[in-house]
Structure formats: C-alpha cells, structure tokens
Structure 1
C-alpha cells in the first residue's frame, strides 16, 4: 500500500541582503507581469530606488514560494530607525517614497500571501511598525492590511494622494472634444502669445548619445522655478539626481523613456520627464520657465504630449503625484492612494497606533478649535 505524502504548502522566505535580492530579478518581473504590471513595482525600478535612497539599509523583503518553489508573492521592505511623534521606533518600510509614485504587495493569490506574511510578522522580532506608502485603491496590500487587522494586530490608514489621470481616446479629435471649450480657447490664445515671441518647437527624446545633455536641460529648467527655491528640484539633492539619472538610462535601454521639450527659438521653456509602460504614459516630473507663465508653456507642452500619446496608441495619461488645479483642467478622473500602517501586537505597538490614529488627531482637533 503506497503512502500518501502531503504536499508542502506555501512558505515565506525573508531576503535580507542585496545579492539575494538581485538574484530575484527574472522571476520578480514575471510576477509583476502576471499581477498588477506597474512599472514602479518592477525589479529594476526598486533596485535603482534602493541604490539611491537606501544604499546601506538592511533589506527585509518578504517572499512567498508555492508548493513547486515558484515565487508567488513579494513585499519589498527595508528596516529603518525613525521617530513617531518624537518617540523612537523600529520601522519596516516599503521600498518607496514620494519619487516612487505608488507601491503595492505583489501576489498571485493576495489572500494567501496576506495571511502568510501576517503570520510571519507575528513571529518576527525587532520591529514596531510597518508602513506602506501610496498604495492605490484596489491594491493587494489592502488585503494584507485587512488580514493584519483580522489577526489582532493594530492597524491604521491615512489617505495620501488623489492622482489625476486621463483615459485617452483613439484619436486626437476625440481627445480635443473631451476638453472644455473655454480651456481650449485659452490654450490657443496662449500659444499665439508664445509664437509672437519666436519659433515654437516640440521635441521627444527617448535615448541616444545626447541623453545626458537633454537630462541636464530638463534638470536646470525644473530647478529654475519654485522647486529650486524650495530645494525640491531633482538636481538639488545627490540622491534624487542619481535616481532620476540612473532611471533615465535604464528606461532608455528598455525603450520606456519619454522626455518631452517645448522650445522657444531652440531654448527649452517646458519639460516632461516621463515613462511609457503597458500602454500608459506616466508623468514623473514636469518643469517650465516661470518667466513665461502668461503663455502657460507647461499646459501647451502637455497638450502636445497628450496628443502624441494618442498617436502612439496609449490608453492613459497618468499625472501621478497630488491633485492640482492645473491637472484638473484636463480631467475629472483621479486615482486614490493611501498609506497603510500595521503595528506590532505589543504594548508598545498598540501605544504607537493609538498615538498615530487617536491621540495625535484628537490633539490636533483641540488645537484647531482653540485657534478659532
């Protein structure tokens, strides 16, 4: 009589060093393509992010292997020491920040992955809070968040961004028909005003030997305005400059880069740093010459870029980032993002959760009423 052997179930493997993470590239990207298929979740994007924003950090990448050993889920985390309301905490953070645009759990079976990762974290020492930034509505990380709460871990959520996007039609005519008549008239008037100042040209750059010079033009243009005054321009910090430079090189190699320029007599007066992936255009960074604001060169460039995206057969223009008035001139569609928190099931973890989601908001409300 033959013995009936039970098949092994899914197992969590924690990856804590760069070499092991690098070795995952092929199957990681296969997992991305089989699930949400976002460019920001791909292995090369995460590697570039880690190299520039967390180069010396200890990784805590949670992976799930199915019975056949296939990678079926992944949650890229790293360990950091930070503070919450001035109190020191040991935080597991998603490998993402404001330059990542969005973040999520990768999972072929989100509920299975969520339960497995929550069970693993319950037995893991050395952490107080886990934070995932800018998870989109419908993302698999919401299942992880729900599973943590159901398992008795303290959880919380904070809405971060509503990112506008344009569902693109098949023709330029249909795109123009979707815009308000007054806005289109304003664009025509501003274009005429700009053309009175000189020759206006539109340029798309996807790579080539001149890529570094084109990037530098875009960096300088972005830095010339309010972002430069606030110190938030790409080129003003070694980490952000390195990130966007390396990302551009990699995207050019993979035929995903889309740098756009609006030029006045050859001089760049508006700029887009964008990526094309999966039939979508992602606007990571715009910039324009603020001395020409009466001509709205940024909006004029956006009109050209959107039209080019339609011509290229893309289905969506994603503005990324926060909701802004100038973005709403083009669309009324938004994609909501949320920061998800899971706290360790300890006295300290529960106190941190209460401070973040009860005591802190209550104190702000009292101060707000007092100021009135």
Structure 2
C-alpha cells in the first residue's frame, strides 16, 4: 500500500533500515530533510509491504499525473529501498507495478539492489528502459593500508608523496574529523558547516550555480541533514588545515562498514598543494584506522582522480517501466531519441559554452 509518513511508519522504517544494514541514505531522517528543503514533504509517500503485521519492505515515492517516481534531484546521492529479504523485494516490485497509472520511474538505485532485479523480472514484456545514472567509485579499506598503496600506479604513488611533501613544507598540517561537537561535548555544528560550505563554494561552482551556497534549498538540505546526522551519530565533517586555517573540507556520513564522502570543498588559493587529493587520502587513512569501517564510498561520477584510487565502482541506474505496450513503446523511443540528440548537441559545445549554459539553467531553476 501507499502510506503517508506518520510517526509510527517513520519509526518502523528507520528500525527496518538499521536491522537490514541499509545505507544511511535509506533512513527516513535523511530523506525527510531532503523533502523539507526542496518542498516535497507534502507529496512524499511510502510504498510498503507488511508480513504478519510487520514492515518488511519500503520504497519512498512521489505520485504525480505521469505516474510514480522516486524522490530525486541533483542532490540525491542514492535512493536505497529497504527490504528484509528477496521475497519482500519481489512483493514490493509487484506492488510498484500494480499501482502504476502511468510510468514507474525508479531512479538513483543500485543496479544490483534486490528491488532493481525484482522489477526487471516483474516487468516481463512490458516496455521498460534502463539507463546508467552514474558509476560511483569506492575504496576498500578493510585490509592493510600498505596493500592499498602498492596497488596504486607508480605515478599516483609518486604524486601523493610529492603533494604531501609540498604541503608539509608550506606549514603546519593538521587533519580532523568532527561529529558536530567540540572536545568539551558542546555543539559547534553551525560553525563547522559555515567553514565547510565556504570552502565548497568555489568560484567556478558559484558561476555555474552548482555550489551548495548557490541555492537556499541546498543550504537548508545540507544543514538540516547534518543536524539529523549529528543527532543520529553518523555525521563526520572532515577538515584539512594549514597553520590552523581550513583549506579542504569533506561532508561525510559514517554508518556500519561505510564512510560516505558526499561533498568536497577546497581553497583554490592553495590549489598547487592539492588540497582535494590530500583530504581524500587522509579520509582513506582515517577509514583504515576506524574499527569496523571497510570502505570509503566516494559517490558521484568516477572522475579520473577517484578512478586512480578506487577499488571498484557501483552502478546507479534509472529504470522506467511504461504503462502499456503501445504507449510504452512510443514513450521509450521518444526518451531514447531525445537523450541521443542531447548527447550529440552537448558533444558539439565548447567547454566555455557548456559552463555558460549550465549557469543559465541553474539561474532559471532558482
């Protein structure tokens, strides 16, 4: 059934997410912070499956005139349906398809999630389109840190050593990870976020409108989410400092075996010191040192610097299932054709033109 998010359901949802070891992004506290900030709280619902009166599967959804979709935008790191087992995933897929009056749009889910696999099976011959959203890199931090370094390319190892030496020669270097409280146990989250968001708001990101500070809704989301995460004990705000001044920032969450690295900020005045790469390397070292943490999830696209460090990638996909064979075939063909035209058009643009168009689009959206 599709349910409103009442307090009892939120409590059961969070308990199931924790019991099944779901990612932190599967927890209602994270998603409701997103919905509150981006004006989607009134439309957010949960498609649920119960067994013997107990919640065994849940997918957050938004219902609209065109169908049923997952609540996503550019700030969505991952949509993680919560399922107790494969049977629950199968039941959830069946209910998802049974509820459709239009297109079912399951976006930002892992390609190998049980619900994704169950939806492929349940869709059968119904027209569907699956596309890769991104390939997110991750670093295995479960073994010996020396093994991690040995598997890096010779050029990358030398580059890390060179940057570390250059940074040490520039002044006194320190690295700290905060859960939102200072050494006295007092809350200093607002001050930490101020410093971090200042570093995240690099000039080129502000020009393109992609910085968190470019949008009041983004600021509200990451502030509210940080407050929830601090209360839940999963917030980790990382800072790389030079002579006491923060030159790089990482907005991170740590739950179970995973340290998630969501947002990177850095001081471009110190670009020659490689602050972005250096804080990433410090976070890898930090993850190795944490009992029970087995990976650093770098999230987002597999950019070249991430690819050099990564142990592997996880594909996020978008699966669209259309309502009827005839209409679905038309919609699928149109979607593919538009995507192809967009790719060809973007490929012909210069880098400067792409940046200007991106900045214009973000201004219009705001």
Same fold (TM over 0.5): yes
Shift of 1:141: 2.5
* Alignment: residue pair count: 343
Aligned residue number for residue 311 of structure 1: 289
**Range moving further from structure 2, 318-327 or 187-196:** 187-196
- Is the 1:169–1:175 Cα contact (8 Å) retained in structure 2? no
Decide whether aligned partners of structure 1 residues 345 and 119 sit closer, same or farther in structure 2, where only a CA change above 3 A counts. Answer: farther
Aligned residue number for residue 139 of structure 1: 113
For 1:365 and 1:201, how far apart are their aligned partners in 2? 43
Decide whether aligned partners of structure 1 residues 116 and 226 sit closer, same or farther in structure 2, where only a CA change above 3 A counts. Answer: closer
- Is the 1:222–1:228 Cα contact (8 Å) retained in structure 2? no
For 2:339 and 2:73, how far apart are their aligned partners in 1? 23
- Deviations along 1:99-121, one digit per CA (max 9) or x if unpaired, are 23222433234455435653564
Shift of 1:362: 6.6
Shift of 1:232: 0.8
Decide whether aligned partners of structure 1 residues 349 and 368 sit closer, same or farther in structure 2, where only a CA change above 3 A counts. Answer: same
Aligned residue number for residue 97 of structure 1: 73
Decide whether aligned partners of structure 1 residues 60 and 117 sit closer, same or farther in structure 2, where only a CA change above 3 A counts. Answer: farther
Are 2:2 and 1:28 equivalent residues in the alignment? Answer: no
For 1:80 and 1:171, how far apart are their aligned partners in 2? 50
Shift of 1:166: 0.5
What are the residue-to-residue correspondences of 1:1-372 with 2, within 5 Å? 13-15=1-3, 17-18=4-5, 20=6, 22-35=7-20, 37-66=22-51, 68-80=52-64, 90-111=66-87, 113-115=89-91, 117-118=93-94, 121-122=97-98, 124-125=100-101, 128-150=102-124, 152-208=125-181, 209-313=187-291, 314-345=293-324, 347-357=326-336, 359-360=337-338
Decide whether aligned partners of structure 1 residues 366 and 286 sit closer, same or farther in structure 2, where only a CA change above 3 A counts. Answer: closer
Decide whether aligned partners of structure 1 residues 219 and 175 sit closer, same or farther in structure 2, where only a CA change above 3 A counts. Answer: same
Aligned residue number for residue 356 of structure 2: none
Secondary structure of 2:170 counterpart = coil
- Is the 2:248–2:265 Cα contact (8 Å) retained in structure 1? yes
Secondary structure of 2:44 counterpart = coil
For 1:191 and 1:123, how far apart are their aligned partners in 2? 55
Larger Rg: 1
Shift of 1:370: 12
Shift of 1:56: 4.9
Shift of 1:167: 0.7
Decide whether aligned partners of structure 1 residues 258 and 111 sit closer, same or farther in structure 2, where only a CA change above 3 A counts. Answer: same
- Is the 2:94–2:122 Cα contact (8 Å) retained in structure 1? yes
- Is the 1:171–1:311 Cα contact (8 Å) retained in structure 2? no
For 1:110 and 1:155, how far apart are their aligned partners in 2? 21
- Deviations along 1:121-172, one digit per CA (max 9) or x if unpaired, are 44654xx22212122121022234224422x432110111111111113443
Tell me, which stretches of 5 or more residues in structure 2 are unaligned?
182-186, 350-366
Shift of 1:25: 2.1
Tell me, which stretches of 5 or more residues in structure 1 are unaligned?
1-12, 82-89
For 2:241 and 2:347, how far apart are their aligned partners in 1? 50
TM-score, normalised by the number of residues in structure 2: 0.84
Shift of 1:72: 1.6
- Is the 1:111–1:144 Cα contact (8 Å) retained in structure 2? no
